[in-house]
Amino acid sequence: MILALKSGRLSAQDWIEAFAAKMPELEVRVWPDCGDRAEVDVLFTTRIPKGEVASFPNLKFVALVAAGADRFLADPDIPAHLPIVRAYNPEQALTMKAWVVYQVIRHHREMPQYEADQKAHRWDRRPVLQPRFVRVGVMGLGQLGGAAARSLADLGYDVAGWSRGGRGIEGVDDFIGPDGLMAFLARTEILIGILPFTRETDRLLDGPAFAALPKGAYVINCGRGELIVEKDLLAALDSGHLSGAALDVFRQEPLPADHVFWDHPKITVTPHNSSTSSAWGAVDIVIENIRRYQNGEPLRATIDRQAGY
Instruction: Determine which one of 109, 272, 292, 305 is catalytic.
Output: 272
The mark string for 52-71 relative to ligand NDP (x by CB under 6 A, - otherwise) is ---------------xx---
Q: How many CA atoms lie within 13 A of 223 on its CB side?
A: 30
What mask of x and - would describe binding to ligand NDP in positions 5 to 44, judged by CB under 6 A? ----------------------------------------
CA distance 255 to 250: 7
Q: Within 140-169, which residues bind ligand NDP (CB under 6 A)? A: 140-145, 162-165, 167
Restricted to residues 74-113, the positions that interact with ligand NDP (CB under 6 A) are 92
Cβ-proximal residue to ligand NDP, closest one: 142
Part of the chain binding ligand NDP (CB under 6 A), chosen from 30-38, 207-215, 220-228, 230-238 = 220-228
Taking the complex as a whole, the smallest distance from the CB of residue 119 to ligand NDP amounts, in Å, to 30
Q: Pick from 48, 222, 245, 290: which binds ligand NDP (CB under 6 A)?
A: 222
Nearest to 134 by CA among 104, 113, 112, 167: 104
**First-last CA distance in the chain:** 27
Q: Is 248 in the site for ligand NDP (CB under 6 A)?
A: yes
C-beta of 27 vs 173, nearer to ligand NDP: 173
Rg of the chain, C-alpha, whole Å: 21
Q: At what angle do helices 90-108 and 111-119 cross, to 10 degrees?
A: 60
224 noted as active-site residue: yes
CB contact at 8 A, 303 and 198: no
Q: What DSSP line would sit under 153-189, residue for residue?
A: HHTT-EEEEEESS----TTEEEEEHHHHHHHHHHT-S
Rule CB under 6 A: say whether 200 interacts with ligand NDP: yes
Active site residues: 224, 272
